[in-house]
Amino acid sequence: MNPALRDAAKEYLVRYGGDVFPNLFVEARGTVVRDDTGREILDFTSGQMCATIGHNHPAIVEAVHAAGTKAFHLFSGMIPEVVAELGQTLAQDWMPRGLSKSLFVNTGAESNEAALRMAKLHTGGYEVLAVGGSWHGVTGGTSSVSFASDRKGYGVPVPGVFVMPEPNAYRPYINAGSEEESALACLELGLKMFDMQSSGRPAAIIIEPIISAGGVLVPPRAYMQALRRAADERGMLLIFDEAQTAFGRIGHKTGAAFHGVTPDIMSVSKTLGGGLPLAGTITTPAIEDSVHRKGFNFYTSHVSDPLGAEVGLAVLRVIANEHLVERARTMGGYLRGRLEELQQRYEAIGDVRGEGLLLGVELVQDRESRKPNHELGGRTTRKCFDMGLSMNIRRRPERGSVWRIAPPLTVSTDEVDRAVAILDQALRESLDEMAVGRAA
């Protein structure tokens, strides 16, 4: 441990929100990160949901080295061969039929900004419909369509943004009976509200196939199919933000494949770069030609960089060669089963949900009221970290207290068992401490 560097972090770095740890970190490999005390911690968030094939996978290290022997960066108008290869690989092997034109940038926010610009230019409209609980980025356009992040204090958002209630099977806004009927009732109301307010210039509907930051909410397939029809009926483009759902995380190639619905534009990021900044915006040839003729511009300093493309190709090869899409289904089923065992023992675990290795565990005060248990969530998360397990918990009052659990697709059954054992002990100790506190 270097106390001087800890002091430097406090003195010289801007605090940017979210969870903050007092220690610094020095190394990451596979499913394990190591802090400046030498302590090893199981990482069940894959970094920021990015290290899909594990931290510092040898294939990624080799890809970075390969880029170093050729080029990390070029003039933005010079298309590297490896970028062309990545575009071809996505179109031929990973995307739904028809999505074959790719733009490669750095972050998910950038890829969503590009998608929104394409939609507005193509349609001639500017109105965008998003869902509650969404997170599409913190840049100007993307923050205006994000509703699981802080929106207060940053001035006037981009105009023309509308929100509709998200489908939440555990605590539906409209309880119409079944999960599917409740979700469709939310959609119907949201569309009616949009139609009443629209100035007649619709452009896009944007949604995550699994609403992650909103609590790992999985919309029914009928909801996504109805959303596709709603976009078509209004002349809007349907955008899927697949930052977390593409390339195997949920046990399918994409969220589009899982739902059986093809969007007009798909944004990808986290799961493509494997821990390095790489994102893409993929659309149809017809839309690409339309926006090109209208002057589409997204000319940035690091568009089409060869380094990111080398890494993206390496990530996709590993996912294919190691059969990680199938493994996400298998290991996701195993992890979910272990979490459901805990649910049987703890009244405070109200719901276990998700797909593949993107799972959510919701903590409640009791199962009848389903009121969020923020105290238990915060206390248990801290205990888990102290015991060697890192998990991300969403504690917004309106979103519940939900762990997002997303280990690398390479996670082993032994690592799952260790993580569940830590979670079990942390929950038990936290509940005991809270009971003693109430008694006092």
Task: Answer yes or no: same fold for 59-321 and 325-411.
Answer: no
pLDDT at 394: 74
Q: Which of 24-38, 362-376, 389-403 has the lowest mean pLDDT?
A: 389-403
pLDDT at 397: 66
Identified catalytic residue from 120, 355, 404, 415: 404
Per the annotation, the verdict on 293 as an active-site residue is no
Task: Enter the tokens of residue 230.
Answer: 């709603």
Identified catalytic residue from 110, 113, 127, 241: 241
Per the annotation, the verdict on 244 as an active-site residue is yes
Mean pLDDT across the stretch 396-415? 89
pLDDT at 437: 76
Domain boundaries, the chain: 59-321, 325-411
Do the beta carbons of residue 187 and residue 147 sit within 8 Å?
no
Identified catalytic residue from 101, 120, 270, 327: 270
> Of 392, 403, 397, which Cα lies nearest the Cα of 354?
403
Highest CATH level, class, for 59-321? alpha beta
pLDDT at 58 over 90: yes
Identified catalytic residue from 127, 179, 208, 415: 208
Per the annotation, the verdict on 241 as an active-site residue is yes
Query: What CATH code is assigned to 325-411?
Result: 3.90.1150.10
336 Cβ contact list (under 8 Å, min separation 6):
352, 354, 359
Per the annotation, the verdict on 270 as an active-site residue is yes
For the stretch 358-371, pLDDT in tens is: 999 999 999 999 99
Identified catalytic residue from 101, 110, 120, 244: 244
Mean pLDDT across the stretch 425-433? 96
Mean pLDDT across the stretch 276-300? 98
Reduce the secondary structure of 122-176 to three states and give it as a string: HHCCCEEEEECCCCCCCCHHHHHCCCCCCCCCCCCCCCCEEEECCCCCCCCCCCC
CA angle 224, 226, 231 (to 5 degrees): 95
pLDDT at 396: 66
In angstroms, the Cα distances linking 414 to 50, 348, 411 are 22, 25, 8
DSSP 368-432: TT--B-HHHHHHHHHHHHHHTEE-EEE--TTT-EEEEE---TT--HHHHHHHHHHHHHHHHHHHH
pLDDT at 398: 65
Task: Enter the tokens of residue 85.
Answer: 């290869």
Identified catalytic residue from 127, 135, 234, 242: 135
pTM over 0.85: yes
